[in-house]
Amino acid sequence: MLKAVDDKTAVAASIRIGDAQSLSPFSCGLEYCPPARGTWNIVHTGMLIPEVHEIFVCAAGCLRGVVLTAAEMGAIERFSTVAVEEHNVLDGSMEELIIEGVTEILHRLAKLPPAVLVYTSCIHQFMGCDLARVYRILRERFPKVLFTDCYMNPIMRKSGATPDMLMRKQLYSFLEPTEKDAASINIIGNDLPTEKTSDFYRMITENGFTLRDITSCRSFSDYREMSKAPLNVVVNPSALLGAKTLEARLGQRYVYLPQTFGFDETERLLRGFALALGVTAPDFIKARGEADNALKAAAGALGKTPVTIDYTAVFRPLGLARLLLSYGVNVTCVFADGFSSEEQENFDELKRHYPQLLLHSASSPLIRTMERGDGKKTVAIGQKAAYYTGTEHFVNIVEGGGMHGFDGIRRMAELITEALYVKKDTRGLIQIKGMGCGCCQ
């Protein structure tokens, strides 16, 4: 029912962290979408499983973005659609549409894929679509094809498990119980490969473990080998639901190793990981020293140059801001609409010691008309920060960039220094979708 408009909080685009009351400092309202496209979406992530076919069942408006994602990444032959039309909403044919649409697509393909990811949307959720019946019939019709349910339902992004979390859970749903190989470990939930110089990566390989990661699987059978590992490593917080599910379903324990920027926290996590592996933790003195030296070098080179960070670059932007500020780097602004509860300590410390740090909404409607850059040299960490500050000096990474541990901190410091001296084609680079997935646009 419509009521008269009343007055409420004003739309705000930025706030000093000293004045912010919580990890969600901005009111929710209309949202703007900047032209920074490097983060992955559920099409990119699903395509990490070699040989699978994706079928999206949605309205044309929802199909449009995903089909062109597949086309841009050169994977349109592994992608199909079933368009939901108005009559399907009214005549009760939604389940039949999915069943017959998917069946028809599989009949049209030259060769049946080993597995199919079927993505349904918000509309199926609201209509109470009987998906269990849909999948039962599809499995009966195609006994040699594995099916799993995936979701493009952004309306649920603030109601429990987000579509991103569900995607990283369903991504491993084709793994089945099997005999374990005690000397093997998986990294799960990452879109990007982990740097081989990362501390935890080296702990795995230098101690003779077989490491499997979906980003390096070349065939569906390679991917299925991931069932053998007794232990999963999770770096991306959105993959924790998937890790818990695998633990319950396949008995695979998991270790959460988030990308952190505090030296002591990083060492504590890595030592815990060594314990889980059953190996002796390496001496971290050298790794700490190298990270420290790289940070000092970066701080020295930057001088008073303003540095900005956005939430798409790293999972803990406040943690990175805190680290850099502690080395004297002039971090002026963090672009994000809110922060995870994992950042509470970083938030509190920054509030106490650096209250002038600006938090800027990354999607406020007001940011659309904001002046992008004041002509002064700025270094940005992340594509959105680069766009909003109008700089060509930026660290072009998304989702942590595959960096981790002390090695990751060292590498980050080096990339910041490099960004200070080397200009990049911001316009060209940030508009490429799914950075690192092979997209050519």
Partner 1 sequence: MRLLSIEALKRQAASVISTYSADVFGVCSALFELGGMVVMHDPSGCNSTYTTHDEPRWYDTDSMIYISALTETEAIMGDDEKLIRDICETAALLKPTFIAVAGTPVPMLMGTDFAALAAVIERGTGITAFGFPTDGMKSYISGASMAFAALAEKMTVKTEKTPFPSANILGLTPLDFSVNSSAESIKRFLTDNGFCVLSSWAMGGRLSDIARAGGAHVNLVVSQSGIAAAQVLERKFGTPYVAGVPIRKGFSAEAARALKVGETAVAYDGGLGKNAPVVIIGEGVYSASLAASLTMSGVPARVICPLELTAATDGIERISDEAGIKTALDGAVTVIADPLYKPICPEGARFVPLPHEAFSGRIYRREIPDLIGNEDYINAIRKEV
- Give the shortest CB-129-to-partner 1 separation in angstroms: 12
Tokens for 334, please give them.
């963090």
- Give the shortest CB-3-to-partner 1 separation in angstroms: 5
The interface with partner 1 within residues 339-378 (CB under 8 A) comprises 365-366, 368-369
- Give the shortest CB-96-to-partner 1 separation in angstroms: 6
The Cα 108–Cα 49 span in angstroms is 21
The interface with partner 1 within residues 57-86 (CB under 8 A) comprises 58-65, 67-68, 71-72, 76-77, 79-86
The secondary structure element, H or E, covering residue 117 is strand 115-121
Q: How many residues bind partner 1 (CB under 8 A)?
A: 72
Nearer to partner 1, 105 or 274 (CB): 105
The interface with partner 1 within residues 82-121 (CB under 8 A) comprises 82-86, 88-89, 93, 96-97, 100-105, 108-109, 121
SS3 437: coil
DSSP 40-85: --HHHHHTTSTT-EEEEEE-HHHHHHHHHHHHHTT-GGGEEEEE--
The site map against partner 1 for 9-48 (x = CB under 8 A) is -xx----------------xxxxxx-x-x-----------
- Give the shortest CB-353-to-partner 1 separation in angstroms: 33
Spatial contact of 435 and 396, defined as CB atoms under 8 Å apart: yes
- Give the shortest CB-234-to-partner 1 separation in angstroms: 25
- Give the shortest CB-366-to-partner 1 separation in angstroms: 6
> Nearest-CA neighbor of 379 among 341, 345, 423, 340?
423
- 431 contributes a contact to partner 1 by CB under 8 A: yes
Give the contacts of 283 (CB within 8 A, at least 6 positions apart). Answer: none
- Give the shortest CB-312-to-partner 1 separation in angstroms: 13
Name the phi and psi angles at 417, rounded to 5: -60, -45
The interface with partner 1 within residues 125-184 (CB under 8 A) comprises 126-127, 152, 154-159
Residue 362 one-letter amino acid = A
The site map against partner 1 for 279-308 (x = CB under 8 A) is ------------------------------
- 425 contributes a contact to partner 1 by CB under 8 A: no
Give the contacts of 441 (CB within 8 A, at least 6 positions apart). Answer: 72, 431, 432, 433
